[in-house]
Amino acid sequence: MTGASGGIGLMTTELLASQGYEVVATVRPSSDMTQIKALSEKYATLTIEHFDVLDALYYPKILKDLEDRHNGFDIIVMNAGVLYGGLIEKMTSAQIMTTVQTNLSACIAITSTLVEGMKERGQGKLIFISSLAASRPLPYLSVYNASKAGLEGLAKSLYLELAPSYIDVYLVEPGFYQTDLWRHEADCQDQETQKVKKLAYFMTKPRDVKEVTFQILKICEGKSRRFHHTFGHYAKFQCLCKPFIYTKCGKTLYKYLLRRIK
């Protein structure tokens, strides 16, 4: 599990450990370890390792050593992610780079380093934590959306590419959950961003993280074998609206709603 210090990663780690899975919870050295440490004291099957997913891009040996120490991984949950919101011209290049590298490039690097071991063992599961935003993009989250859309492209190709090696690929698309993911997004205080933000919040509603963690457990148990995992009626509604949004009418309606927001 990457990014296990909080949010979806932490809750899924707890659920899996409580079900007897041997979980290697990876956290970057700078992460707040309080919650994950408390869990490791509770569950003997839980091990914590330091791993910054960005290291996978430049130092694959760190990941290889991790794999060797644990005799390989049967399931990899690529969960670590960051989100910076804002109008694209207001984003710094550091924010853009971090978003794309954490949410997409690191997942490519982790997969390319660890997939060999899975192939040798003739089995494995890759679970990519994407976002509903990848296929139903929201304004003012363009770079985040782009990174997750890239992740979906990766997962779709690997789904086929790895099928002959008995490695299963899954795409989990959470909607909106109130976790620490949104902490940087509070930084964008300009009026234009605030208006778009209000509209974006109107278009989506926070849900219970547990639905995501239980779905990941079902995938691990082999009880859910489908590729795509979305949540709730709202996701279906957004999916239905998608063709309309990208029409002239959709654009006009969007601009009208934006003008009405104070």
Ligand X SMILES: NC(=O)c1ccc[n+]([C@@H]2O[C@H](COP(=O)([O-])OP(=O)(O)OC[C@H]3O[C@@H](n4cnc5c(N)ncnc54)[C@H](OP(=O)(O)O)[C@@H]3O)[C@@H](O)[C@H]2O)c1
In the complex, the residues that contact ligand X under the rule CB under 6 A are 2-3, 5-9, 28, 30-31, 52-54, 79-82, 102, 129, 131, 174, 176-177, 179-181
Measured from the CB of residue 252, what is the shortest distance to ligand X in angstroms? 28
Measured from the CB of residue 241, what is the shortest distance to ligand X in angstroms? 18
Q: Which is nearer to ligand X, 119 or 125 (CB)?
A: 125
Place of tokens 């005799």: 71
Q: Which is nearer to ligand X, 165 or 211 (CB)?
A: 211
Measured from the CB of residue 18, what is the shortest distance to ligand X in angstroms? 18
Pick the closest to residue 101 from 168, 174, 28, 158 (CA basis): 28
Q: What DSSP string runs through 191-258?
A: HHHHHHHHHHHHH--B--THHHHHHHHHHHHTS---SEE--HHHHHHHHHHHHHHTSHHHHHHHHHHH
Spell out the residues 6+ positions from residue 227 whose beta carbon is closer than 8 angstroms to its own.
Answer: 155, 159, 169, 170, 171
Q: Which is nearer to ligand X, 137 or 174 (CB)?
A: 174
Measured from the CB of residue 257, what is the shortest distance to ligand X in angstroms? 22
Q: Which is nearer to ligand X, 48 or 162 (CB)?
A: 48
Q: Which is nearer to ligand X, 55 or 168 (CB)?
A: 55
Spell out the residues 6+ positions from residue 190 whose beta carbon is closer than 8 angstroms to its own.
Answer: 87, 90
For residues 168 and 123, give the distance between their C-alpha atoms in angstroms, rounded to a whole number: 8
Q: Which is nearer to ligand X, 87 or 100 (CB)?
A: 100
Q: What is the DSSP letter of 104?
A: I
Measured from the CB of residue 82, what is the shortest distance to ligand X in angstroms? 5
Measured from the CB of residue 96, what is the shortest distance to ligand X in angstroms? 15
Beta bridge partners of 77: 127
Which residue's beta carbon is nearest to the bound ligand X? 7
